[in-house]
Amino acid sequence: MASIASYVLHGAARLNSGPHPERARADAELLLLHLLGKDKAWLMAHREDELAAGVAARFTALIERRYKGEPVQYITGETEFYGIPLRVTPDVLIPRPETEHMVERAIKLATGLPAPCIVDVGTGSGCIAVALAHHLPSARITATEISAAALTIAAENAKRNAATVRFLEGDLLSPAAGERFELIVSNPPYVANADRATLTVEVRDFEPATALFAGAGGLDVYRTLIPAAFDALVPGGFVLLEIGCGQSPAIGELLTRSGFHEIEFIPDLQGIPRVACARRP
């Protein structure tokens, strides 16, 4: 039996020739800690402990999965979004830090409203809906999702975080037909089909295609969702949409054509317009 430290080093060396060598050591440590059910502080104190043969074999198997490009989040089944722990599987998109910009703006817009009705369209893992429910306890949160498998994960994440969310199965806003909301939020598919080859192996080969791709220009879902959102908002209500790089002109045109005013694009940390925000008059 070899030490924990040596297994981490060997695992990192293997990952160093994988898709993300810059994260090799961090990923190796994370996978081992997940397997052992320990934290980083424990690892620092037990680096010279021996690793049992059975555990070592399982660790090696996890390293091989990561080497082939499988995201760490799918291997561990865990991730974090807006400070909230979430379960993720290949049935749902892995939440991105960029999406937190939309959550921040949604919380700001909803704060002060007595009991705002908010709907998260295409909730996936439930990350947006759960985060909003956590930070806006008086809000009435609805989340829609066409994938039954994704809804199961989203409901589990809501329960795990003691978040009250109403989940509805169906396409976009159709499950909530006839209802009106103060706020509509969505991170829809927006990658153009032609851009598939530009994606990393992690994204292209492991994340659900239905949560990524949206037609030739990546705008197919917006063309349906934006006018539907206008009809589903109360006067003065807001829609918040995550968008792809370079899509702001087209999204702005779609919002204007549907009747939205006060159109604004919120940049991410790289200065790229990432969230479209617009108000129904």
Residue 205 domain-assigned? yes
User: Does any domain span residue 264?
Assistant: yes
CA distance 200 to 192: 14
Residues 31 and 106 in one domain: no
**Domain final residue pick, 38, 68, 98:** 68
Q: Are 129 and 63 contained in the same domain?
A: no
Query: Which of 194, 190, 178 lies closest to 246, judged by CA?
Result: 190
**Whole-prediction pTM:** 0.93
Of 68, 95, 111, the domain-final residue: 68
pLDDT for 19 equals 75
In a domain, 267, yes or no: yes
The two tokens of residue 280 are 């129904």
Shared-domain flag, residues 193 and 248: yes
Whether residue 28 lies inside any domain: the answer is yes
- Both 41 and 94 in a single domain? no
Closest listed residue to residue 79, CA positions, set 202, 205, 241: 202
- Residue reference for tokens 């060997």: 10
**Pair (12, 95) in one structural domain:** no
- Tell me, yes or no, whether 42 and 178 share the same domain: no
Say yes or no: 139 and 36 in one domain.
no
Q: Which of 68, 103, 121 is the last residue of a domain?
A: 68
Helix axes 220-232, 248-258, angle to 10 degrees: 40
Q: Report yes or no on 225 lying in a domain.
A: yes
Asked if the structure places residue 49 within a domain, the reply is: yes
> Are residue 63 and residue 105 in the same domain, yes or no?
no
Are 261 and 184 part of one and the same domain? yes
Determine the residue type at 73: Q
Overall number of domains in the chain: 2
**Per-residue model confidence (pLDDT) at position 1:** 66
Burial status of residue 16 (CB atoms within 10 A of its CB: 0-12, 13-18, 19 or more): middle
157 three-class SS: helix
Residues 155 and 242 in one domain: yes
pLDDT for 243 equals 98
Q: Which residues in 230-241 are b (16+ Cβ under 10 Å) and which e?
A: bebbeeebbbbb
- Give residue for tokens 């159709």: 174
Residue 169 lies in domain: 78-279
Per-residue pLDDT of the chain (281 residues; tens, 9 = 90+): 688 999 999 999 999 987 778 889 999 999 999 999 988 898 888 889 888 888 999 999 999 999 999 999 999 999 999 999 999 999 999 999 999 999 999 999 999 899 999 999 999 999 999 999 999 999 999 999 999 999 999 999 999 999 999 999 999 999 999 999 999 999 999 999 999 999 999 999 999 999 999 999 999 999 999 999 999 999 999 999 999 999 999 999 999 999 999 999 999 999 999 999 999 99
Residues 104 and 199 in one domain: yes
Residue 73 counted as domain residue: no
Same domain, 58 and 83: no
The pair of structure tokens assigned to 27 is 């990923």
Per-residue model confidence (pLDDT) at position 49: 87
Nearest CA among 1, 21, 3 for reference residue 13: 21
